[in-house]
Amino acid sequence: MMGRQRNDQRQLFYAFDLETMVPPDHLLRGIDAVLDLSELRAHLSPFYSHTGRPSVDPVLMMRMLASTGTAGDVFFVISHTGRTKEIIDIAEIASTNGAMVVALTTPASPLAAISSIALEVDVPENTDEYMAMTSRIVHLVILDVLATGFTLRRGPDFLPHLAKIKNSLKPTRYQKDD
């Protein structure tokens, strides 16, 4: 069709505001507070966009979340060595803002020292030479135990909430062949 197009360039650009897209009580916000993505960034860096809209560095996202933490908020931080500078910085930001910082880390590590509560786990693993594997499995087991305990403590009134989460995953899976 000839003539002037009525649409302007606003269709070509968009702004994303995390605060309006994810409610404050959403499960994803709680998960973000639990994950230690410092090592994951190195693994994913080859997949970051070289053209187009670049990805947001996970450490920057965690820093932004920590900067909004206040009294009553809990940040669960996981670091096997407890020596990762970025993770320690993020924990300090959250703590300075009044949030509680719970760390799952090595005994007597810098992260354990600055945390409100340190769940210290001694897993013999040389992460200076090898990628952490045993510690990741141990950390996952501890998280599963904590999540189960938390859920049980919430009582039967929490079951509909869990069912809602489980049902939200159904469209992401293929049906089993019986």
Domain CATH for 107:
3.40.50.10490
CB 111 within 8 A of CB 77: yes
- The pTM of this model reads 0.61
CB 106 within 8 A of CB 120: yes
Output the pLDDT for position 177.
Answer: 82
Phi and psi, residue 105, nearest 5°: -160, 180
Residue span of the structural domain in which 68 resides: 19-43+55-167
Mean pLDDT of the chain: 82
Query: pLDDT-derived band of residue 9, with 50, 70 and 90 as boundaries?
Result: very low
Closest among 59, 77, 74 to 120, alpha carbons compared: 77
| Pairing outcome for strands 74-79 and 117-120 | unpaired
The Cα 94–Cα 70 span in angstroms is 7
In a domain, 4, yes or no: no
Phi and psi, residue 72, nearest 5°: 100, -20
In a domain, 138, yes or no: yes
**HSE-up of 118 (CA within 13 Å, CB side)?**
20
In a domain, 160, yes or no: yes
Q: Which residue has the tokens 């009294």?
A: 71
Neighbours of 137 (CB within 10 A): 11
Output the pLDDT for position 12.
Answer: 45
In a domain, 173, yes or no: no
In a domain, 145, yes or no: yes
Neighbours of 67 (CB within 10 A): 12
In a domain, 48, yes or no: no
Q: Which residue has the tokens 């060595």?
A: 81
80 DSSP 8-state letter: S
In a domain, 128, yes or no: yes
Query: pLDDT-derived band of residue 92, with 50, 70 and 90 as boundaries?
Result: very high
Into how many domains does the chain fold?
1
Per-residue pLDDT reduced to its tens digit, 52-77: 566 667 888 889 999 999 999 999 99
In a domain, 12, yes or no: no
